[in-house]
Structure 1
Amino acid sequence: MTQNEGAAINKILAAQPWDVSRHRVSLLGIPHAGSGVSSLYALQQMSPPWVRTGIVRFTGRETRFLDGVVSDANTYLEEIARSAAALRGPGPLFLLGNCSGASLMLAAQRAIEDLGTSVAGFVAVSAPAPVAPAPVLPPGMTDTQFVDWLKTSWRIPPALFEDADMLDLLLPQLRADCEVLTALPSERTNTGRPFLVVFGENDENLGSPELRQWRDWGEEVTGATVPGGHFVAVERPESVWQAVSSFIEGVTATGGPAGTPTSAT
């Protein structure tokens, strides 16, 4: 293992070392804006034994809090790419983006492949399709103005703003992440890979009608509506895995996604 590989592993939460006797694929999760690995920890813990699941831990949060917050888009994409290369074993690699993490997932494909790691398939969970540029964050906003901007410019569930103490901790990360999402390349092409979109059936902001907006992002885009709300990856990870494991098995077995309840094509 090289020094760079070791550093990358310290920036992801990996379930355990690659076990050739049971691991067949790896899956790297990318958290939503303002969050760390904790937002996908429950999902990781429920991953099937044949999937080695890791989660990107960006700088400035959790055990990397002292590293400081970074708002450079290239830094985020490079960290995703290094984490993907470190996590992947002999089998195929899949990416999962939760909410706004799906936009980072798409933008990171080139950086991942530049490191010699290919992506077998993509999964977007509780995520609107990035069919338009992200709202630009105005400079010099106070925290109160920033929260008001989030409420009007991003489809963020109100529950996020109910815990004032937690919100104070999240605001620097949210600001940085919003700046990064704004700075992502505006022109991105079809990934050329199978793509699964997962929505919680009780999500008030997203659902099956939006699935069609994802159709240009993958070789074949399929969708699943599963029990749960917008935070389904946290609250009902078993619902997500029911769809994701079927998708992964279909891709690895036949070269195309397994059948899911809804199709975007």
Structure 2
Amino acid sequence: MRNCRAPRLRLICFPHAGGSAGFFRSWAALVPDDVELLAVRYPGREDRFAEPPAQRMEELAEPIAEACAKLAGGPLVFFGHSMGASVAFEVAARLSAAPVAAGLEALFVSGRPGPEKVRSRNLADASDEELVEELLAMSGTNAEVFANPELRELFLPLIRADYRLIDAYKVTLPPPTLAVPVVAYYGDQDEHVDEDEVNAWSAVTRSSFATRSFPGGHFYLEQHAAPLVADLFARVGTNGPRPDQD
């Protein structure tokens, strides 16, 4: 999404359920010049549209971990929002367990309870009307998509598949799994995650942990992308991660 010839750092972003790599396109103008911005393309969307969506977390996390392990020329930092937070954690856990370290420096998660607090919402089996109502209420989906019958028919099965995956998701590696700093972000009006659930992310790391809230709901980052990205890089800094920043 934003290439860099000799990156000091690579920021890899993991989209939410039903989301695509393009969700993070606007971040290209916000990251420092010496940082390479990458975003994960899940199967079933964008240039992988012909592929069936993943049925299990392992189908997502394992190939992504393999791809990340092959990256060279700078440390990695992960940012995942909502479902993407769980995917980023699972990828980070696999990299941490690998015989050769892949250079992960920090994990930033957003809008998602810690693994021990995740609760099933059974949205995969909701009616079309209920599912659309839920998606529009979270403000993470363009309303025009569901006003168009053809686009609605195209995207709802994909979104259902993602919800089915996260409803079935269980932590596969016992915490504390990671040895890198973890920072958890959330919207202070998010009905799907509260402060206690956000703090549960502290259990996944043996390193430092911090949280920060922003005004807004589940998709607070749409309105606060600039301060969010600025906070992320203030914590990473130029001499390594500092996620314990207030």
Tell me what 1:238 maps to: 226
Q: Percent identity?
A: 20
TM-score scaled by structure 1?
0.74
Superimposed CA distance per residue, residues 75-106 of structure 1 (whole angstroms, 9 cap, x where no aligned partner): 201232134235x4322111111112111111
1:36 and 1:62 in contact (8 A); partners too: yes
1:197 equivalent to 2:181? Answer no
The SS at the match of 1:89 is coil
Alignment coverage as a number of residue pairs: 236
The SS at the match of 2:204 is coil
Partner amino acid for 2:13? G
1:95 and 1:122 in contact (8 A); partners too: yes
Could you tell me how far apart the structure 2 residues matched to 1:227 and 1:238 are? 13
TM-score scaled by structure 2?
0.79
1:30 and 1:97 in contact (8 A); partners too: yes
Tell me what 2:77 maps to: 94
1:199 and 1:230 in contact (8 A); partners too: yes
Could you tell me how far apart the structure 2 residues matched to 1:54 and 1:73 are? 20
Tell me what 1:221 maps to: 209
1:58 equivalent to 2:42? Answer yes
Tell me what 2:8 maps to: 24
Could you tell me how far apart the structure 1 residues matched to 2:210 and 2:84 are? 19
- Write the mapping of 1:86-235 to structure 2, written as runs, cut at 5 A: 86=70, 88-113=71-96, 114=98, 116=100, 117-135=102-120, 137=122, 141=125, 143-144=127-128, 147=131, 151=134, 157=138, 160=141, 162-163=143-144, 164=146, 165=148, 167-187=152-172, 188-190=174-176, 191-206=178-193, 208-218=195-205, 219-235=207-223
2:188 and 2:213 in contact (8 A); partners too: yes
Could you tell me how far apart the structure 2 residues matched to 1:129 and 1:210 are? 6
1:42 and 1:234 in contact (8 A); partners too: no
When structure 1 is superposed on structure 2, of 41-50 and 57-66 the one drifting more is 41-50
Deviation of 1:36 (Å): 0.7
Q: CA RMSD in A?
A: 3.2
Superimposed CA distance per residue, residues 209-232 of structure 1 (whole angstroms, 9 cap, x where no aligned partner): 544222212222111223554323
Deviation of 1:238 (Å): 0.3
Tell me: CA distance 1:167–1:98, structure 2 relative to 1, closer, same or farther (3 Å).
Answer: farther
Partner amino acid for 2:179? G
Partner amino acid for 2:82? C
1:70 and 1:176 in contact (8 A); partners too: yes
